[in-house]
Amino acid sequence: MAILASQQMKDVSLVYSLKEISSIEDRNLVAGYIFMYKDEHSRAQELFLESSEPTVALDIQCDLLHWDQALELATALDHLVFQC
């Protein structure tokens, strides 16, 4: 439905972005991407960290050039990975 609405609004970039995430089954991951599209980065990060792919939160911080937050996340994710 969101893709159809975006097509009606002629928002080509949003249509492509939504098509890219349409096959993802993890709700937190999808919601995180949607919050990213809405420029709500802190909420997106929370959802990415709760998803099956928490490293996406780190990728986003790097893309945004938020190096201090990226370093904190990398350290936290490193500890998380080694606990498993």
Mean pLDDT of 60-72: 93
Kindly report, residue by residue over 9-55, the tens digit of the pLDDT.
Answer: 887 887 877 787 787 889 999 999 989 988 999 999 999 999 999 99
pLDDT score recorded for residue 84: 40
Of 29, 31, 84, nearest to 52 by C-alpha is 29
Q: How far apart are CA 81 and CA 50, in angstroms?
A: 14
Range of the domain at 17: 2-83
Number of domains comprising the chain: 1
- Of residues 48 and 82, more confidently modeled: 48
